[in-house]
Chain A
Amino acid sequence: MMLAANMFVGPAIDWFKISPLLVMLGGVLLLILAGSLTPQWKQGTYGVVGALTAAGSAVCTAMLWRDLGEGNPSSLLANALSFSKFSLFATFSVAVATLLAILVTSGFLVREGEDGPEVFALILSAAIGGMVMVQANDLIVMFLGLETLSLAFYLLTASSRWRSASGEAGLKYFVLGGFASAFFLYGVALVFGATGSTNVEKIAASLSKDTVLGGSSAMLLAGIALLLVGFGFKVSLVPFHTWTADVYQGAPTPVTALMGSVGKTAAFVALIRVFTVALSSRSDDWRPVVVMLAVLTLVIGSVLAVVQTDVKRMLAYSSISHAGFILVGLVAAGHSASADAGLGTSGALSYLFIYSILVVGTLGIVSVVAGKGDNETSLSAFKGLGKSNPVLAMGMTVLLLAQAGVPLTSGFVAKFGIIRAAVSTESYALAVVAMLAAVIAAFLYLRIMVSMWLSEGAASRDVAATFSVKASIALCVGATLALGFFPSLLLQFTNQL
């Protein structure tokens, strides 16, 4: 017995390098334990603890940036997590989006009189799941991150108990999300069967030897297809997008912001890593399928966005169209014969970072306009906002212009990066489709702007915002303009990916 106990050697753990995760975990435990053992804290305090945790995690990630490079390990915890510029940038992106979303949530819960530790603990656990997903170096670790993220999202979606739409959205999200997770897991199992490993780098090494172990290449292809279906659900690509509009509309507005930013970033980064690292030698097999999905997602997402009458549904379809754009980056990144494939990866990551900020800011404003009860999200609720609250309407205008990709906003930098990557890898047709979809989607953003500035409406409606929501919206608008005027602030980091 002693011998058996001595034979097990645990992996060396570099605690500082996993500090972004540990800080988040500390915040979750503090909120759950201290929150449940003490009487109700002063209003807004839970939100402050949550925001400080997310900010601490972002600072830890930024400090780790200089630990990269020679003499440092490229993976952590016995190869379970990767430690690279790619994973750190994505972790930073998740932490920043979490911080902004927590600020919106804090003001929202105070307004609804529902302030408490649970929602913030769930948001931070979702962020942990997202961080594990973007750092995962092993498909099973990625699955655990995906489930941590998804389970927290299901609960957050259903968390507005006073609105029946919230419960309905939670159930729909839960059933379809669980369905998608099962597909993803089956994909992992088949890839494991075909290559003999679940480790991203070992899969790549096994596939580059051109011999498929254990199973047939049909098993590998089925595995790749199932992985793509699972990821397609999570990042809402057409035709796996049907849950998106219902869930975005039914969820509490700050949770929608979190899903659009953290959820999308985590799932997309994991998708990009699996397909461009583990399955890069099979890119001739998956690129045609991804091209098809990108075209469908861009066109159908933009067209369906235009015909909606609820702003949250509009933004849901616009997020589908944005997902199509990011997928164009993946197509470029999968062009392994081209020297410019790296442009696709860096373009997609800058897009995700910029889009996260835009979506939190936009939905932050929607949550203010929705008013107490979180119900006024139809387009007519925005009528006359330009007169009754010009500052808020101005912020919304900047964020919507950025989503449309107008120059001198960060959205232009994001779209330019993707189109440049597509053109450098000679995907001209796809670049044209992407630009056409951007034009169609621009009509949607104009519709909201026209509603705000040119229509007469109930100007007397109370659209007061608390300080933390204002701070979050101001940070988002500020970052959108700053990155639009000085893109090098962001590009100096993403160009190294």
Chain B
Amino acid sequence: MFGLVVVPTPTWYLVLSAVLFSIGAVGVLVRRNPLVMFMCIELMLNAVNLTFVTVGRAMSDINGQAIVFFVMVVAAAEVVVGLGIIVSIMRRRSGVNVDDLTELKG
């Protein structure tokens, strides 16, 4: 419409994944609900996946995309373990807020 043709280059996707990774990292640091913190970690892992796919595509290297499957499996395993731990804590107390977990300090 404006005669402007925008062609996304790999750099765009690398920047996008860096931004997503930063959002995830900041989220882990500022949020106080373990489930949300956990989702932020998943966001960080998926931002890395985007980097792998972009790099793999830019270099025509299929390994970049194959690695993503490994990362997805690891993320799924992390979900199982993480939710298990959160549930076992929830059984002892009502509601989970990481600021309430203050037994260990010094």
A residues near B (Cβ < 8 Å) are 140, 143-144, 147, 151, 154-155, 158, 161, 164-165, 167-172, 174-175, 178-179, 181-183, 185-186, 188-190, 192-193, 196-198, 213-215, 245-246, 249-250, 308-310, 313
State which of B71, B98, B106 has its C-beta within 8 Å of the C-beta of A245: B106
B100 nearest in chain A by CB position: A168
B59 contacts A179, C-beta separation under 8 Å: no
Given A168-B103, A175-B37, output 15 extra A-B contacts at Cβ < 8 Å: A168-B101, A170-B85, A170-B88, A170-B89, A171-B34, A171-B98, A172-B104, A175-B28, A178-B41, A178-B78, A179-B41, A186-B47, A246-B105, A250-B103, A313-B106
A192 to B54: give the CA distance in the assembly, Å: 11
State which of B28, B71, B92, B104 has its C-beta within 8 Å of the C-beta of A249: B104
B43 nearest in chain A by CB position: A182
Q: Provided the pairs A140-B67, A154-B81 are in contact, do residues A182 and B24 lie with their beta carbons within 8 angstroms?
A: yes
Q: Provided the pairs A182-B45, A246-B104 are in contact, do residues A164 and B85 lie with their beta carbons within 8 angstroms?
A: no
A232 to chain B, nearest CB (A): 15
A253 to chain B, nearest CB (A): 14
Interface pairs (25), CB distance under 8 Å = A140-B67, A147-B78, A151-B77, A151-B81, A154-B81, A154-B82, A154-B85, A155-B84, A165-B103, A170-B89, A171-B85, A174-B85, A181-B45, A182-B21, A182-B44, A185-B71, A186-B21, A186-B48, A188-B48, A189-B55, A192-B64, A192-B67, A245-B104, A245-B106, A313-B106
B51 contacts A189, C-beta separation under 8 Å: yes
A193 to B37: give the CA distance in the assembly, Å: 28
A178 contacts B48, C-beta separation under 8 Å: no
B92 contacts A189, C-beta separation under 8 Å: no
Q: Provided the pairs A164-B92, A198-B63 are in contact, do residues A182 and B41 lie with their beta carbons within 8 angstroms?
A: yes
The interface residues of chain B, by DSSP majority, are classed as: helix
Query: In the assembled complex, which residues on chain A have CB atoms less than 8 Å from the CB atom of B59?
Result: 196, 213-214
Q: Provided the pairs A143-B74, A182-B41 are in contact, do residues A167 and B88 lie with their beta carbons within 8 angstroms?
A: yes
B55 nearest in chain A by CB position: A193
A166 nearest in chain B by CB position: B88
Query: In the assembled complex, which residues on chain B have CB atoms less than 8 Å from the CB atom of A158?
Result: 85, 88
Query: In the assembled complex, which residues on chain B have CB atoms less than 8 Å from the CB atom of A309?
Result: 106
The interface residues of chain A, by DSSP majority, are classed as: helix
B52 contacts A155, C-beta separation under 8 Å: no
A139 nearest in chain B by CB position: B67
B residues near A (Cβ < 8 Å) are 14, 21, 24-25, 28, 34, 37-38, 41, 44-45, 47-48, 51-52, 54-55, 58-59, 61, 63-64, 67, 70-71, 74, 77-78, 81-82, 84-86, 88-89, 92, 98, 101, 103-106
Query: In the assembled complex, which residues on chain A have CB atoms less than 8 Å from the CB atom of B71?
Result: 143, 185
A168 contacts B104, C-beta separation under 8 Å: yes
Shortest 8 CB-CB contacts between residues of A and residues of B: A182-B44, A193-B55, A189-B51, A246-B104, A178-B41, A168-B101, A167-B89, A147-B74
Query: In the assembled complex, which residues on chain B have CB atoms less than 8 Å from the CB atom of A197?
Result: 63
A493 to chain B, nearest CB (A): 34
Query: In the assembled complex, which residues on chain A have CB atoms less than 8 Å from the CB atom of B14?
Result: 193
B41 contacts A175, C-beta separation under 8 Å: yes
A361 to chain B, nearest CB (A): 24
Query: In the assembled complex, which residues on chain A have CB atoms less than 8 Å from the CB atom of B104?
Result: 165, 168-169, 172, 245-246, 249-250
A183 to B18: give the CA distance in the assembly, Å: 11
Query: In the assembled complex, which residues on chain B have CB atoms less than 8 Å from the CB atom of A165?
Result: 103-104
Query: In the assembled complex, which residues on chain B have CB atoms less than 8 Å from the CB atom of A171?
Result: 34, 85-86, 89, 98, 101
A171 to B28: give the CA distance in the assembly, Å: 13
Residue of A164, A192, A313 contacting most chain B CB atoms (<10 Å) = A192
Query: In the assembled complex, which residues on chain A have CB atoms less than 8 Å from the CB atom of B82?
Result: 154, 174, 178
A316 nearest in chain B by CB position: B106
Q: Provided the pairs A171-B85, A179-B41, A245-B106 are in contact, do residues A151 and B55 lie with their beta carbons within 8 angstroms?
A: no
State which of B70, B78, B105 has its C-beta within 8 Å of the C-beta of A151: B78
A167 to B101: give the CA distance in the assembly, Å: 9
B45 nearest in chain A by CB position: A182
A186 contacts B74, C-beta separation under 8 Å: no
B16 to chain A, nearest CB (A): 13
B80 nearest in chain A by CB position: A151
B51 nearest in chain A by CB position: A189
A310 contacts B106, C-beta separation under 8 Å: yes
A147 to B47: give the CA distance in the assembly, Å: 18
B74 contacts A144, C-beta separation under 8 Å: yes
B69 to chain A, nearest CB (A): 11
Query: In the assembled complex, which residues on chain B have CB atoms less than 8 Å from the CB atom of A214?
Result: 55, 58-59
A197 to B61: give the CA distance in the assembly, Å: 9
Q: Provided the pairs A147-B78, A198-B67 are in contact, do residues A190 and B28 lie with their beta carbons within 8 angstroms?
A: no
State which of B24, B34, B85 has its C-beta within 8 Å of the C-beta of A155: B85
State which of A167, A193, A198, A249 has its C-beta within 8 Å of the C-beta of B85: A167
Query: In the assembled complex, which residues on chain B have CB atoms less than 8 Å from the CB atom of A147?
Result: 74, 77-78
Q: Provided the pairs A174-B85, A186-B44, A245-B106 are in contact, do residues A167 and B92 lie with their beta carbons within 8 angstroms?
A: yes
Query: In the assembled complex, which residues on chain A have CB atoms less than 8 Å from the CB atom of B24?
Result: 182
A214 to B64: give the CA distance in the assembly, Å: 13
A182 to B20: give the CA distance in the assembly, Å: 12
A172 to B25: give the CA distance in the assembly, Å: 16
Query: In the assembled complex, which residues on chain B have CB atoms less than 8 Å from the CB atom of A154?
Result: 81-82, 85
B67 to chain A, nearest CB (A): 5
